[in-house]
Structure 1
Amino acid sequence: YVGYALHSNPRPGEIPCHRVVFADGHICEGFAFGGPDAQRELLLGEGVAFKDDMHVDLPACRWPAGL
């Protein structure tokens, strides 16, 4: 359901769906708005740290809401 909602985002420049990553920090290889390179660039532009090309450094960047 989450993937469907993200792919249906009517305003990707306003609704920051690029911030959604998998539980292990992996970015989406099927990112609907330009692929994983576009998602990585958007996240890097916001100062998000990466462990490698495809994984966000979650301990450094995760929002601790409810955790």
Structure 2
Amino acid sequence: MPKVKTHSRAKKTFKVTGSGKIKRANAYKSHLNTKKSNKRKRHLRGGSMVNDANLNLVKRMLVLR
């Protein structure tokens, strides 16, 4: 049986924490930032965890069992 390849974008986008949860960056921070308030951009700076609904999909892309 051949090796299973990891999804290239997923390994750059997601990080696995020590407890096994998957961390992701927040959206809406990449461009058109001049019209967004400083408070809004500051709150988007920190990451958040992947939702339970998408967890199996992300684990499959990262080839985690």
TM-score by length of 2: 0.27
TM-score by length of 1: 0.26
Bigger RCO (CA 8 Å, 6+ sep): 2
Q: Which has the larger radius of gyration?
A: 2
